[in-house]
Amino acid sequence: MKTPHHRHFASLIAVATLALAAGCHKKAVPPPPPPPPAATSPAPTATITVTPSSIDPGGSAVLAWRTTDATDVSIDGLGTVNPYGTQKVTPTQSTTYHLVARGPGGSTDATANLTVTAAAAPAPVGETMNEQIFEQNVKPAFFDYDSYEIRPDAQTVLAQDASFLAAHPTLKVVVGGYCDDRGSAEYNLALGENRANAAKQALVNGGVSPDRVRTVSYGKEKQFCTQDNEACWQQNRRAGFSLDQ
191 binds another protein (CB under 8 A): yes
- CB of residue 164 vs another protein: minimum separation in angstroms? 22
194 binds another protein (CB under 8 A): yes
Sequence-distant (6+) residues with CB within 8 A of 208 are 162, 165, 166
Q: Where do the DSSP E strands lie in the chain?
A: 45-51, 54-55, 61-68, 72-75, 79-81, 84-89, 95-103, 106-116, 141-142, 173-178, 213-219, 238-243
217 binds another protein (CB under 8 A): yes
- CB of residue 190 vs another protein: minimum separation in angstroms? 3
- CB of residue 186 vs another protein: minimum separation in angstroms? 5
236 binds another protein (CB under 8 A): no
CA 2 to chain CA centroid, Å, is 71
| Pairing relationship of beta strands 95-103 and 72-75 according to DSSP bridges | antiparallel
201 binds another protein (CB under 8 A): yes
- CB of residue 238 vs another protein: minimum separation in angstroms? 16
What is the rounded CA–CA span in Å between residue 153 and residue 143?
10
Interface region with another protein, contact rule CB under 8 A, candidates 74-82, 84-92, 96-104, 194-202: 194-202
Cα dist from 124 to 115, 159, 168, 171, 175, whole Å: 18, 23, 9, 11, 23
- CB of residue 191 vs another protein: minimum separation in angstroms? 5
What is the rounded CA–CA span in Å between residue 225 and residue 232?
5
Helix H, strand E, coil C: the string for 32-78 is CCCCCCCCCCCCCEEEEEEECCEECCCCCEEEEEEEECCCEEEECCC
148 binds another protein (CB under 8 A): yes
Among 76, 127, 131, 221, binds another protein (CB under 8 A): 221
Q: Given the complex with another protein, which of 99 and 196 has the nearer CB atom?
A: 196
235 binds another protein (CB under 8 A): no
Number of residues located near another protein, criterion CB under 8 A: 23
Question: Looking at the chain, how many residues does it have?
Answer: 245
What is the rounded CA–CA span in Å between residue 87 and residue 183?
47
Interface region with another protein, contact rule CB under 8 A, candidates 16-24, 36-44, 75-83, 182-190: 182-190
- CB of residue 233 vs another protein: minimum separation in angstroms? 9
209 binds another protein (CB under 8 A): no
Binding site for another protein (CB under 8 A): 145-146, 148, 183-187, 189-191, 193-194, 197, 200-201, 214-218, 221, 230
